[in-house]
Structures are given as C-alpha cells and as structure tokens.
Amino acid sequence: MLLQTDARRRITLPPTAGIEPGDAIDLEILEDGRIMLIPVEPVPKHQLWAWTAEVKQAVSTSLADPRPSVVVESAKDVGKVAKRWSGED
C-alpha cells in the first residue's frame, strides 16, 4: 500500500488498518530505515506492578487451574476453601 505524507508529514491510514481515532500507536524506526507502527494499549503507571513477568505467569497458571471456581461469601467460607485446597498443588 502506497501512502503519501501531507505538508505536515502526516499520513492517513485506511479503515482496513484497524486503527481507530485516539488509538495509541508505537512508532519504531528500524535500522534499515523502515518504519513500523505498532498498536498498543497503554498501562497507567499505578498499574504497572500487575504487568511483571511473575504476575503474568501467575495469572496464566491460575487460568489453567482445573479446579472449579468457588464463590466465597464470608470469612468462614475462606477457611473452608483454604483447608480443602491446602493439601493440593
């Protein structure tokens, strides 16, 4: 696809590119001069703690856990669930 810049060095992306107005895009200029546009979802700084490799691995492991979900409605229920699962791993 051939694009041409305007007087302000802007380009217009076609709707088929899947980029919507207001989307965040990372621009990377490669060593060979190519330009790569990468759509990103920015994470607020106060939430960056949740995006460490360890946390992502824990979430992935949790989602793969075959045990059924349990609704815990009271502190008493927490104790029962903890006691039931304490011997599992």
Mean pLDDT, all residues of the chain:
87
Q: List the structure tokens of 88.
A: 């599992």
Question: 72 near 81, Cβ under 8 Å?
Answer: yes
pLDDT score, position 55: 87
- Amino acid 63 reads L
Q: 3-state class of 40 per DSSP?
A: strand
> Domain boundaries in the chain?
7-43
Cα-based angle 73, 69, 81 (whole degrees, multiple of 5): 55
Q: How far apart, in whole angstroms, are the C-alpha atoms of residue 79 and residue 65?
A: 20
Q: Is the pLDDT of residue 88 over 70?
A: no
Q: How far apart, in whole angstroms, are the C-alpha atoms of residue 20 and residue 33?
A: 26
Mean pLDDT computed over 62-70: 83
Is the whole-model pTM more than 0.85?
Answer: no
pLDDT score, position 38: 92
Mean pLDDT computed over 36-58: 88
